[in-house]
Amino acid sequence: MPSPPDSIAAHLAALPAMQRVPTPKAAVFQHRRFVDPDLAAQLIALIDAGRRPSTIADDNGDAYFRTSETCDLAAHLPPVARIEAMLTALSGIDPAFGEPLQGQRYAEGQEFKAHTDYFTPGGRDYAKYCAQSGNRTWTFMIYLNDVAAGGATRFKLLDKTFQPEAGKLLCWNNRLPDGAVNPATLHHGMKVRKGVKYVITKWYREGHWRG
C-alpha cells in the first residue's frame, strides 16, 4: 500500500473524474459513471445468483440492523476480474491488501443501519477479524443501478447523503491521518422505498489479506 496513507487520498484527488467531498472530517470521494451499464448488469446477475442473508460482526442484538443480502464474488469470473483491475488502477493500492469483492442486494424495506466499516479496536470480535490482516483502511463502493426511491447512503456526522446512481463509485478512508479509526465515517445504508438496490464493495486492509 502507498505510504504514508494520505498519499492514497492525494492520488485519488489528482484523478480528473474524481470529486472530493468538501469536508475536513474525512477523506471521501465520488466518481460518477465509473462502471458501464453492461458490466453493471453482469455483476447484478452474479449477485442475484449467489445472494444470501447478510451478517454483521459484533452482533448488537438488533435482528433488523442489517436486512440486506450479500454475495461473495469469485475472483476468477471475468466481470469480477475486470472490476478488480479497474479498482486497482483507480486506487493505486496493491491488490494484495484487498479483501475479496462483495456484492449486496437491498429489496424494498431493507437497510443497513448506521455502522462503520472498520472493526472497533477492543470490540468483542476485533481479534477474530483483524489478527491476520489488520483493520480496514479504504472502502470502495459502487452503485450498480438507479433506485426508484430510497436507498441513499447517509454519513450523518459529515452531514452528507449520497443517492444511488448507476455506475457511481463512492470511496472513503476509514482512518484519520494518524492511522487511528475515524468515527466520522459512520454511515447508514438507508431503506429502499421502491425498487431494488445493488452495490459492490471492496475493502482494503492494513496488511496483506490472509482471509
Q: How confident is the model at residue 211 (pLDDT cuts 50, 70, 90)?
A: confident
Residue 124 pLDDT more than 50? yes
Least confident of 55-64, 167-176, 182-191: 55-64
∠ CA 19-20-21, nearest 5°, is 115
Average pLDDT of the chain?
92
∠ CA 143-120-9, nearest 5°, is 50
The one-character DSSP state at 184 is G
DSSP percent split of the chain into helix, strand, coil, nearest 5: 25, 30, 45
Residue 3 pLDDT more than 50? no
What average pLDDT does the segment 101-122 reach? 94
pLDDT of amino acid 1: 42
Q: DSSP strand E in 109-168: where?
A: 112-115, 136-143, 149-150, 153-155, 160-162
Does the structural domain 6-205 have CATH classification 2.60.120.620? yes
Residue 180 pLDDT more than 60? yes
Q: Which residue has 490482516 as its cell numbers?
A: 133
What average pLDDT does the segment 47-65 reach? 73
pLDDT of amino acid 53: 85
What average pLDDT does the segment 30-49 reach? 98
Q: What is the pLDDT of residues 71-111, one digit of tens each?
A: 999 999 999 999 999 999 999 999 999 999 999 999 999 99
Q: How confident is the model at residue 55 (pLDDT cuts 50, 70, 90)?
A: low
